[in-house]
């Protein structure tokens, strides 16, 4: 076992050993009676001999300390376990969080394991880090030996969990080594999975033959096989095994070498997968954590640069690799990337980087989606030789790093996705016969020839180099030169390792040489790719105002659709000497600032989208439809463009289209006068706690911003701490404190300041309430009384029993508006004679983002809906009119007598819930149209009573205005900073 417990002072024996790194009695120490049996020692000796390439009965220590790397497996407990009052938990993450990612491996109390550590291990040996004594044991990562065996001083420490009273510091009995974390595997390899290969490549592994040994040898082939298992996207599937007869067993044993080779071949595993160029280029390792962020560090590979900066797709794969590491090992239940959205904020440089990774939204169910945010940062001039390399979290100062790339990844579980799939009129897979290797790579793509084979369809290329005009369409085959299989983490790179389709228009059409920096890239993963080759088709259908939209599909060798990608790029003339931001292109400083704004807005949108995604269970019917849309058609009138079309099976026209470039000949540029003419706000009803009003002429993003601010960012006062002096009621202290915390407090948040966690309470940041009540029998009640209200005094504890205790000058300041509870009749507890509650409550200022008790609508609602619209296209009369009215909620449709004929008419569409019940009846199919007005929002605010609803909305508007002001000020500061440089 191993523990993180460290002593400030080590024994003199250990200090001596640290200087010599050799214990003189290693070879001559006597074996004890409790050491392993001779048969067990032979098993270990056989495995050690195998990993050195030959079996020998007696190997000298000098030969074992040779230059060949040895491999071992060492076990530790990843879950908390208290021994002698101390936690002996130690996982791969704990090792990675240690200073220099290094720790002593102490606490081993097995003679067999001790002998391996003391006599066999040498510097540079690799160690498989194994999680044991847990629900799912298995291999979690890789470490290496950085210090050979020396006395384990913890054995002589009486306070240590692994103290051995028979151990003598002058004649040490136990030894340990120091190990350093190399990497955490992208995928946890469970013992159950390892045991699947007990008749194959791992049949001789000591872990399977003698599983309880805490330190054990691993052969070179076994180590390579485990490494490849860790690199696979999912556990490899093996053949079904059947019970063998003795004859078959003898035949298998005599032919074990051939069978082993067949087994590995059948799994299609390369024993040196981890040595591929791309795998090494995207490699990064966990250096620790800061708060809720995990920190991964690495160095961009110069092989993958285009011009003077790393390729954009390659950098996205680097970040994706860190995210996949972060989500591996059971951290979240969705291990596979479903979508990647990358926002390129500034120029990446070939040099060291740090990636901050943290959760945005975590789904509890295995069929949901989780959202992970990753920000790649570099120091200024990261490409210089002396650029600092982050090796541990304690040395990381985020203020010295510049954000370069923001990635939002949706994680799910591809293997468990269910539901029908419909693809209509899909993009055809390019004909392989048209994809031929060119004589040379063109332009900036020349650098790619070092590591990929490229087979484009040159029929869309300009007829002459850099002259003439081609088509902005690129079709090609692409593969790694070193034979690496394609996988999910390489898909972002494959989505960008090509010539930009706009470049195929030719210099004459473009107006000269151009650069094509990526502003934003989206990759949607559809399935696990197979094989060693990717076929892709990309096209730029829209190039407007210097912005190019590039979309496309990628297929694997089996012509299965892999990812879909969409990129937004800008292009402009390339001029030597200008400030180059991405791929050496020329960009204005305001374009850089614009990227930051886009990234911020999209970040908020993704948080909203994942809320919806988790609400839709994957087992429900899900349709993915690629519609054949005529790009030349569009809604003719502006009123029609404001409608959301509600159909029987779907809702269409849900996205806003009032932005420039959507429709030819229509000016959709935003201006203040146009907004003023269309905007209106009308209050429909209002009371002390509830208000309904209409907002017309705004975008859904603004309406939703108001809703989120109302729920999470309007400050109130709530009970934060409860000091319990006496509680003899039947309610536990924790439950009682939680009930008290949810009681709305009437106090002015503006009169209080926020209190930090380590700050002392004062009259400026804390309000004190007191609850002191005791239940007694009513002496005036008759013996036959059964009414509890007459039998007992104070047997019900209400919120009105909370009494304000002014602190400092609070009594004077708030004399005209004293602190209290919003509602006096909230039942807190019930008591019986002799029971009492005596506690002091501290109220603090906070917001709903921190806890729902601070939300002014958190226990109520803040919501909006679009205004329904019902259009009767043909008269609905007689019996159909009655049936038509019953398809809607009461009050929506009225039936009138028009010239002696019962006729249906729309009375109040606001009451409609848009249930679409009417569309189920074929007799109404061509007689009614259901729509919603996209920019007409019916808002409903229900306050807890702490703040009036009209004041709540006014504060939400002020908060949003302040956010806009902060962004504007930040952009101004950024402009000033850029001007200085």
Round to whole Å and give the CA distance between 619 and 958.
Answer: 42
pLDDT at 548: 80
Give the mean model confidence (pLDDT) for residues 469-480: 82
**What per-residue confidence (pLDDT) applies to 965?**
85
Pick 210 or 841 by higher pLDDT.
Answer: 841
Question: Where residue 855 falls among pLDDT bands split at 50, 70, 90?
Answer: very high
Per-residue pLDDT, 181: 94
> What's the rounded mean pLDDT across residues 193-219?
86
Q: Helix crossing, 589-615 with 700-712: angle to 10°? A: 70
pTM of the model: 0.41
- Count of CB atoms situated within 10 Å of the CB of 429: 15
Q: Given this model, what pLDDT does residue 197 score?
A: 87
**Quick one: pLDDT at residue 90?**
92
Mean pLDDT value across the chain? 77
Architecture of domain 716-854: Beta Complex (2.170)
- Residue 283 has a pLDDT of 86
> Kindly report the CA angle at 955 between 659 and 813, in degrees rounded to 5?
165
Amino acid 189: pLDDT: 92
Q: Answer yes or no: is pLDDT of 488 > 90.
A: no
Distance CA 337, CA 862 (A): 33
Query: Tokens for 121?
Result: 């291990």
pLDDT, tens digit, 9 for 90 and up, residues 39-58: 444 444 554 444 444 333 34
The pLDDT of residue 415 is 75
Nearest CA-CA partner of 448 in 272, 255, 269, 304? 304
pLDDT of residue 795 exceeding 70: yes
The answer as to CATH 3.50.50.60 being correct for domain 283-413 is no
Task: For residues 907 and 889, give the distance between their C-alpha atoms in angstroms, rounded to a whole number.
Answer: 11
Mean local confidence (pLDDT), 202-231? 87
Element (H, E) at 503: none
**CATH node for 71-231:** 3.10.590.10
Q: In angstroms, rounded to a whole number, what is the distance separating the alpha carbons of residues 593 and 606?
A: 20
Kindly report which listed range (574-578, 681-685, 890-894) carries the lowest average pLDDT score: 574-578
User: Which pLDDT score, from 0 to 100, does residue 304 have?
Assistant: 80
Q: What is the mean pLDDT of residues 632-660?
A: 71
Question: Which of 337-341, 426-430, 632-636, 865-869 has the lowest average pLDDT?
Answer: 632-636
Instruction: Write the DSSP assignment of 912-965 as a string of letters.
Output: -----GGGGSGGGTTTEEEEEEEEEEEEEEE--SSS-HHHHHHHHHHHHHHHHH
- Between CA 678 and CA 346 the distance in angstroms is 38
User: Is the pLDDT at 165 greater than 80, yes or no?
Assistant: yes
pLDDT at 172 exceeding the cut of 50? yes
Pairwise CA distance, residues 811 & 726, whole Å: 27
Q: What average pLDDT score do residues 915-939 get?
A: 90
Cα–Cα distance measured from residue 577 to residue 574, given in angstroms and rounded to the nearest whole number? 9
- Alpha helix (H) residue ranges in 621-779: 638-641, 672-678, 700-712, 733-741
Element (H, E) at 880: helix 878-886
As a whole number of angstroms, the distance between CA 942 and CA 859 comes to: 9
Beta bridge partners of 73: 128, 216
pLDDT at position 619 is 35
Q: Which CATH class is domain 584-618+637-714+856-873+927-980?
A: alpha beta
Express each pLDDT in 244-274 by its tens digit.
Answer: 444 444 444 334 333 333 333 333 333 233 3
Other CB atoms closer than 10 Å to residue 525's CB: what's the count?
A: 23
Q: What is the pLDDT of residues 649-674, one digit of tens each?
A: 888 888 777 766 666 566 677 778 88
Q: Would you say 411 and 327 are in contact if contact means Cβ atoms under 8 Å apart?
A: yes
Confidence of residue 409 (pLDDT cuts 50, 70, 90): very high
Out of 3.30.390.50, 2.40.160.210, 3.10.129.10, 2.60.120.380, which CATH number does the structure's domain 432-462+470-575 have?
2.40.160.210
Mean pLDDT on 137-147: 94
- How many Å apart are CA 371 and CA 360, to the nearest integer? 5
The pLDDT tens digits of the residues spanning 12-32 come to 333 333 333 333 333 333 333
SS3 assignment for 583-603: CCCECCHHHHHHHHHHHHHHH
Tokens of 301: 């590979």
Domain map (residue ranges) of the chain: 71-231, 283-413, 432-462+470-575, 584-618+637-714+856-873+927-980, 716-854
For residue 778, what pLDDT is reported? 93
**Residues 931-943, mean pLDDT to the nearest whole number:** 92
- At residue 626 the predicted structure's pLDDT band, cuts being 50, 70 and 90, is very low
What are the pLDDT digits (tens) for 519-538? 888 998 888 888 888 888 88
**pLDDT over 90, % of the chain:** 31
Q: Region 702-709: what's the mean pLDDT? A: 92
Nearest alpha carbon to residue 901 among 871, 867, 923, 877: 877
Calpha distance 132→89 (Å, rounded): 11
**Mean pLDDT, rounded, for 412-438:** 78
The 10 Å CB-count burial string (b at 16+, else e) for 879-888 is ebbeebbebb
Q: Name the least confident of 79-83, 576-580, 725-729, 802-806.
A: 576-580
Confidence of residue 425 (pLDDT cuts 50, 70, 90): confident
Q: How far apart are CA 563 and CA 557, in angstroms?
A: 13
The two structure tokens encoding residue 936: 């007409």
Cα–Cα dist 477/429, whole Å: 11
Split at pLDDT 50, 70, 90, the class of 603 is: very low
Taking only the tens place, the pLDDT of each residue in 275-288 is: 477 888 888 888 88
| Span 589-604, average pLDDT | 47
Q: What's the average model confidence in pLDDT over 634-651?
A: 72
Give the per-residue pLDDT at 3. 31
Percent of the chain with pLDDT over 70: 76
- Of 183-192, 219-228, 280-289, 943-952, the one with minimum mean pLDDT is 280-289
């Amino acid at each position: 076992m191993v523990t993180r417990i460290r002593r400030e002072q080590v024994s003199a024996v250990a200090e001596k050993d640290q200087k010599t790194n050799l214990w003189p009695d290693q070879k001559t120490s006597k074996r004890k009676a409790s050491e392993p049996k001779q048969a067990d020692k032979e098993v270990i000796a056989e495995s050690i001999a195998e990993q050195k390439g030959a079996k020998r009965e007696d190997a000298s220590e000098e030969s074992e300390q040779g230059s060949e790397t040895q491999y071992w497996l060492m076990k530790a407990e990843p879950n908390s376990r208290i021994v002698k009052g101390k936690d002996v938990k130690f996982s791969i993450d704990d090792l990675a969080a240690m200073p220099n990612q290094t720790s002593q491996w102490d606490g081993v109390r097995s003679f067999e394991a001790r002998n391996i550590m003391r006599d066999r291990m040498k510097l540079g040996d690799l160690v498989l880090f194994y999680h044991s004594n847990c629900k799912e044991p298995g291999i979690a990562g890789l470490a290496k030996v950085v210090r050979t065996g020396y006395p384990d001083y913890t054995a002589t420490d009486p306070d240590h969990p692994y103290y051995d009273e028979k151990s003598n510091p002058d004649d040490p009995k136990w030894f340990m080594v120091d190990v350093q974390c190399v990497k955490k595997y992208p995928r946890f390899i469970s013992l159950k999975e390892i045991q699947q290969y007990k008749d194959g490549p791992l049949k001789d592994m000591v872990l399977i033959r003698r599983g309880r040994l805490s330190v054990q040898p691993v052969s070179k082939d076994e180590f390579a096989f485990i490494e490849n298992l860790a690199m696979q996207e999912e556990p490899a599937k093996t053949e079904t095994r059947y019970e063998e007869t003795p004859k078959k067993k003898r035949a298998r044993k005599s032919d074990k070498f051939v069978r082993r080779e067949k087994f590995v071949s059948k799994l299609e595993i390369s024993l040196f997968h981890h040595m591929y160029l791309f795998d090494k280029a995207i490699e990064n390792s966990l250096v620790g954590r800061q708060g809720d962020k995990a920190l991964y560090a690495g160095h961009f590979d110069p092989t993958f640069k285009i011009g003077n900066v790393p390729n954009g797709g390659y950098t996205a794969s680097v970040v994706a690799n860190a995210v996949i590491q972060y989500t591996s090992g059971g951290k979240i239940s969705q291990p596979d990337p479903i979508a990647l959205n990358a926002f390129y904020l500034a120029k990446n440089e070939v040099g060291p980087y740090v990636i901050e990774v943290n959760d945005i939204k975590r789904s509890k169910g295995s069929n949901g989606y989780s959202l992970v945010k990753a920000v790649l940062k570099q120091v200024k001039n990261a490409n210089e030789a002396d650029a600092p390399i982050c090796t541990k979290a304690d040395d990381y100062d985020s203020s010295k790093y510049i954000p370069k790339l923001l990635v939002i990844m949706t994680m799910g579980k591809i293997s468990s996705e269910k539901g029908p799939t419909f693809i209509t009129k899909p993009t055809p897979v390019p004909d392989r016969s048209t994809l031929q290797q060119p004589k040379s790579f063109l332009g900036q793509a020349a650098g790619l020839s070092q590591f990929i084979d490229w087979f484009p369809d040159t029929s869309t290329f300009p007829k002459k180099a850099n002259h003439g005009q081609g088509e902005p369409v690129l079709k090609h085959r692409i593969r790694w030169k070193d034979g690496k299989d394609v996988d999910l983490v390489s898909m972002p790179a494959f989505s960008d390792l090509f010539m930009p389709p706009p470049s195929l228009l030719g210099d004459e059409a473009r107006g000269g040489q151009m650069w094509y920096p990526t502003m934003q890239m989206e990759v949607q993963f559809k399935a696990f790719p197979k094989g060693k080759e990717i076929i892709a088709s990309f096209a730029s259908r829209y190039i407007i105002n210097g912005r190019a939209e590039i979309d496309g599909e990628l297929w694997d060798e089996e012509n299965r659709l892999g990812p879909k990608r969409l990129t937004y790029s800008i292009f402009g003339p390339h001029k030597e000497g200008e400030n180059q931001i991405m791929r050496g292109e020329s960009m204005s400083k305001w374009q850089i600032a614009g990227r930051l704004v886009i990234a911020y807005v999209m970040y908020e949108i993704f948080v909203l989208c994942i809320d919806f995604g988790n609400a839709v269970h994957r087992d429900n019917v899900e349709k993915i439809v690629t519609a054949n849309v005529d790009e030349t058609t569009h809604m003719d009138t502006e009123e029609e463009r404001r409608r959301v079309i509600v159909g029987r099976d779907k809702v269409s026209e849900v996205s806003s289209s009032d932005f420039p470039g959507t429709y030819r000949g229509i000016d959709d540029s935003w201006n203040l006068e146009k907004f003023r003419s269309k905007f209106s706000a009308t209050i429909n009803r209002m009371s002390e706690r509830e208000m309904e009003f209409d907002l017309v002429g705004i975008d859904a993003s603004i309406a939703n911003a108001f809703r989120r601010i109302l729920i999470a960012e309007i400050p109130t006062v709530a009970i934060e701490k409860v000091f319990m002096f006496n509680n003899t009621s039947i309610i536990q202290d924790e439950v009682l404190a939680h009930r008290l915390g949810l009681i709305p407090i009437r106090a002015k948040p503006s009169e209080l300041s926020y209190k930090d966690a380590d700050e002392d309470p004062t009259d400026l940041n804390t309000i004190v309430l007191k609850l002191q009540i005791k239940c007694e029998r009513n002496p005036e009640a008759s013996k036959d009384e059964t009414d509890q209200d007459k039998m007992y005094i104070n047997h019900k504890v209400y919120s009105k029993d909370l009494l304000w205790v002014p602190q400092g000058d609070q009594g004077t300041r708030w004399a005209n508006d004293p602190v209290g509870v919003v509602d006096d009749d909230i039942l807190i507890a019930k008591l019986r004679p002799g029971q009492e509650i005596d506690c002091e409550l501290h109220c603090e200022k906070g917001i709903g983002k921190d806890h729902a008790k601070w939300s002014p609508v958190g226990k109520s609602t803040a919501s909006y809906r679009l205004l329904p619209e019902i259009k009767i296209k043909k008269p609905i009369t007689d019996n159909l009119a009655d049936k038509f009215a019953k398809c809607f909620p009461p009050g929506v449709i009225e039936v009138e007598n028009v010239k002696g004929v019962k006729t249906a008419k729309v009375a109040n569409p606001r009451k409609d819930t848009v249930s679409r019940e009417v569309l189920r009846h074929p007799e109404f199919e061509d007689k009614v149209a259901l729509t919603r007005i996209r920019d007409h929002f019916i808002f409903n605010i229900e306050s807890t009573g702490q703040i009036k609803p009209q004041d709540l909305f006014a504060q939400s508007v002020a908060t949003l205005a302040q956010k806009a002001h902060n962004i504007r000020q930040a952009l101004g500061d950024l402009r000033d900073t850029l001007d200085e440089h």
